[in-house]
Structure 1
């Protein structure tokens, strides 16, 4: 993996965020003029802009003149940062703005905005005397991506789970013949047909799993979770066609 440029870039991003978290956690301010804003990927800039305008109106009523001006200044800084974006980036947007007090006791303005290295599915707006970095820390701790397959008698769903980010990769439905109580030759023929359709369905699920979770002979998830009907899960996990997946990653 070390010679993979994308892995190297990701490691640099992780290092940068760790460094940023350390400096943000240490920062303190007077009053509640330090704003932490996190916008998840599918949110709208317009909604957040309206929320900030409302907050500006509320902050105008803060009694302490010094704190009022600090909070209004921080909200204005966030509004200016948002103007740089037409829409929320694919991985979401993180903004930290406010006035901090340095170790020398001097005031210093902080304005930070960036798109995280992977989707951040948290919505946050807080005015405080410190920056809130819990969601960034969670991004680093939940770095393993797991694949999952939900299989039952009506269809299959394939997806990935990384931290609190769930993505559906593919799904399809199936119409399998139900058991019936007829006797004789027709029952045997029907049972054979039913088993054949079931076998073909499990085969399709196994083939789809190989396409989605194996890239260039390497598995692209840390592990694979099977969920759904117990019968179908057992049949899939024991299927010869599933060998390629089973031999390359742990199945839960």
Structure 2
């Protein structure tokens, strides 16, 4: 199963829920004998006979039986392992049983029936594995975020209380200045603790490539120079530090754009650069932009489409087919959702897809 197919399936699975623990999730790593897994499920089917509520008992039994039926059709677990989701949607009375080998290796054996499908082991497989940490800090405000693929995620945005300077003179002024400095230092320590909590686990997973740090004033330098973060975090903070006017998502986006030279291989920057190129060619009306699903398909078959931006709509089968066709012809495809500012423009103005040509078509 490809990453895009898995992404679409995960969206579907997350819609399923049940009032009782009847939805079966099963992860089997390579090397586990199929017979052992089947025997485990048969034991679980036997135990399920003790469930008192008939509908719940029938639903659990149906899920387990479906999983056994699918497993007995294969002789060995695939190289990347095997994943199964079986169960009944109580809202629609729909029953489905999915069995597939994911795009990356299954590392754990996991079996459970629950009120929802356990998809958490697959989430990282549909995202770009590398990420960049994002920090905006000023004297009494901070934003912590993450850049992964084409998505900027605000992890936390918060404020502290650091009083402004008061001009009183004498002993009272020195005491107030000291209290202000203590409050400022306390806030930077709080920022550091939160940064560590978010980024250290990603560093330990070897998935954080670097950290961008910015802010509107001197606080970013104080934060960088001070002993506020884990040494592993500090090692990943990239230079330069960025002057920014805003906090929140707006500030994070501004910092990422300013760091485009550093992040030039990151999907977010590539998509934004391609979007700028498309707008440039549209303004010139030079025939180097292609849109309309049928027109794009014809151009792909001619080898004329260099790169393509497709709005992420898993319910649009035409777009899904277009993605597969483009990739099979070697076209670079960027699938974007609402995380990109211009994504809705692609969806509404161009019917979900727009591309840049390698050469002008007659």
Q: Which has the higher contact order (CA 8 A, sep 6+)?
A: 1
- The alignment's TM-score, normalised by the length of structure 1, stands at 0.49
